[in-house]
Structure 1
Amino acid sequence: MNVPNCTIAHPVDLNQVHQIHRDILSLEKSQRMAEFFSLLGDGNRLRILSALALQELCVCDLAAAVKMTESAVSHQLRTLRTMRLVGYRRQGRNVFYCLKDSHVLNLYREVAEHLDEPEDS
C-alpha cells in the first residue's frame, strides 16, 4: 500500500493552497467544533442522546431508561442544552426533552451506523 508523504522536496502548489485556505475551517469554528465533539466524548451523554433519538422523554423516565439518578441526568441535560443538542418543552409541571433538531438526530444515526459497519480487513 502506498502512503502519500512529503519527504521528497517539491514545490508548493500555491494555487491549491490558496483554494484550500478559502474553505478550511476558521480557528474559531474549529474550536467550537472541538468543544462539541468533546461534549460527545462522555458515555452517559451519548446514552441520553440515544434514548432521546427514540422518543421525547421527561427527566424521570429518561433517568430510569439510562439507569442514572434524576439529578445526574438533569446535570447532563443542562450541558447538552448549552451546546444546543437537546431542547425541551413544558407540559404542566413536567419537562419533556428531545433532540434539538434533525441535524443532531442525523449525526447520532450516522455515527451509530458507521460503528456498526464491519472493519476493513
Structure 2
Amino acid sequence: MEQGPGDAHLAAWLDARNAPAVAAMLQALAAPSRLLILAQLRDGPLAVTTLSEALGLRQPSVSHHLGLLRAAGLVSGVRDGRSVFYRLRNEHVTALLDAIVRHGEHVRAAAGRE
C-alpha cells in the first residue's frame, strides 16, 4: 500500500516531487531575522510595525522577510485597515520551530561532550 503526506501515522515523507518545496522552506528559515520574526508570531498575530519595533529592524526589512516567509508557506497575513497582521500559518510551523530549537540544543550538548 502506497503512503503519502496525508497519512497520520507517517512520520516523514520526502521524495523528488516535494524536495524542492521543502528546500525552499528550509532556505526561508536560514536567516536569523526570519527565525526571530517567527518566534515573535508564536504568541499570535502581529502587525509589521509591532514586529519592526520588537526586533529593532526597519519596516521595509521586516516586510521583505515576511514576504519570503509567506511565499514559503510559513506565515499568512490579514489586512485590517492600513495594517497587515501576520501569524504563523498553522500548528505545523510551531512544531517545526520547536524541533529546530530542540535539535540545536541537542547538537550543542553533544558537541560539549566530545
The reply to whether TM is greater than 0.5 is yes
TM-score (norm 1): 0.73
Report the residue type matching 2:109 in the other structure.
Answer: E
TM-score (norm 2): 0.77
Residue 93 and residue 24 in structure 1: after superposition, are their counterparts in 2 closer, same or farther (change >3 A)?
closer
Ranges in structure 2 where 5+ consecutive residues have no aligned partner: 1-11
Report the residue type matching 1:98 in the other structure.
Answer: R
Alignment deviations for residues 34-91 of structure 1 (CA, whole Å, 9 cap, x no partner): 1111111111111111111123110000001111100100011111111111011122
Residue 24 and residue 93 in structure 1: after superposition, are their counterparts in 2 closer, same or farther (change >3 A)?
closer
Structure number with greater Rg is 1
% same residue: 31
| CA-atom RMSD in angstroms | 1.9
Report the residue type matching 2:105 in the other structure.
Answer: D
Ranges in structure 1 where 5+ consecutive residues have no aligned partner: 1-22
Aligned equivalents of 2:37, 2:13: Cα separation in 1: 32
Report the residue type matching 1:100 in the other structure.
Answer: R
| Partner residue in 2 for 1:105 | 94
SS in 1 for 2:42: helix
Aligned length, in residue pairs: 99
TM-fit CA distance, 1:24: 6.9
Alignment deviations for residues 80-113 of structure 1 (CA, whole Å, 9 cap, x no partner): 1111110111222221111010000111112123
Residue 74 and residue 27 in structure 1: after superposition, are their counterparts in 2 closer, same or farther (change >3 A)?
same
SS in 2 for 1:87: strand
Residue 25 and residue 66 in structure 1: after superposition, are their counterparts in 2 closer, same or farther (change >3 A)?
same
Matches within 5 A, 1:109-120: 109-117=98-106, 119-120=109-110
